[in-house]
Structure 1
Amino acid sequence: MPATGHGRPRGRGMRRIIVGFVLLVLGAALGLGSAWAGLNISLDRTATRVGAWQTPLDAGGTDRGLYTRAVVALGALLALSRSETIYFIARADDQGEPLRGNCTYELSGRDLPARWWSVTLYAGDHFLIANPEQRWSFNDANLAREADGSFRLTIARDQAPGNWLPSGTADRLVLLARLYNPQGTVATDPATAVLPTITRKACS
């Protein structure tokens, strides 16, 4: 009888440990989620918008704000100072709908106003998307253009003709346009930049 009695407190103690661990994990997950939500809200409020694209004006340099520093630390997307590079981020299409991996999108436009530029596709967690083609971006050197100098770029899970970025199995998508040594007034006023349109074609 004494042996049976000794086993019960030990079992209750183990359950408490397991419950405490689960609560700790849930708390950490909720904390990170709320942090990302706060950062996104901050960017939405302070960024300059050009169509579906937005750029935080304090990206890079020692004068960047607290929230932008946090985005750099977590996402590693805004590394260089604004005097060298302007970054435009798109998390939605031209209609304001979030970019989703199960949809096909077309980016259309002309060369971005910079000495060198690129457009890179990320998953919603800001990591590159695994794909057999090992293709994550296009730039002004490898992008195929139309006869009039314009370009069309397709984002889709299934292979598409021409310029194609595979969205793989990602759920949410993020686009990042980098403008290195931006030209003309774009460096002083990013709102004057002419950037590609983002049109949703179909969803599965």
Structure 2
Amino acid sequence: NIRILSVLDSYDSEEQSWIGMDIPFRNIMYELYSRDLSYKIKAGLEAGRKRGKFLGGLPPYGYKRTKGNKYKLCIDKEAASIVKEVFEKTCNGISKREIACHLNSRGISPPYEYLEKKYRGRKAEEKKRWNEGSIYRIIKNPIYTGCVVNGRKKVKTMGSKKKKNMNRKEWIIVEDTHEAIISKEMFERAQNKMPRMYTVQKRENKL
């Protein structure tokens, strides 16, 4: 036997032996309303992305949300100085591993630990460390040039936690939405250093 419940209509098939025509009709209307609401939410988010609003959860390392406008970023001086240092060292040919080791030796908290403690008041059970991955993510993020990049990932369906990576051509990039930590020229120099540095490190590891 199938039990049918309609919360809004106070209907329970175990207590009532028949269903009036109005209940199935209302259920259809509720479904249509839910779909319409989902569409409007998606449309609102899309409009925000195109206007360059920051729609992420925690702000990226090096930034904080502007007071009075949670969709706009402003510089977090403490972390921004580390971001700039990472780019400068990369442009000078220093490897990701060396940069990470240098930051660890100074006891500087890596991005995840820093953001969790600063914005959520959470302290890691174990001390986190900088690694090549954390350096790489900073170097590859164009947000440090003053632009917002939205649409890198999208939820497959409303209500789902599963996300899919979007093609770079589908990213929504809005320039000059907040103060830059580094120049576009420095960002490009760092990108150009990455392949060469990776090739050299790979060759050295084989020796």
Is TM more than 0.5 here? no
* Higher RCO (Cα < 8 Å, 6 or more apart): 1
Please identify which structure carries the higher helix content. 2
TM score, norm. by length of structure 1: 0.31
Larger Rg: 2
Q: Greater strand share, 1 or 2?
A: 1
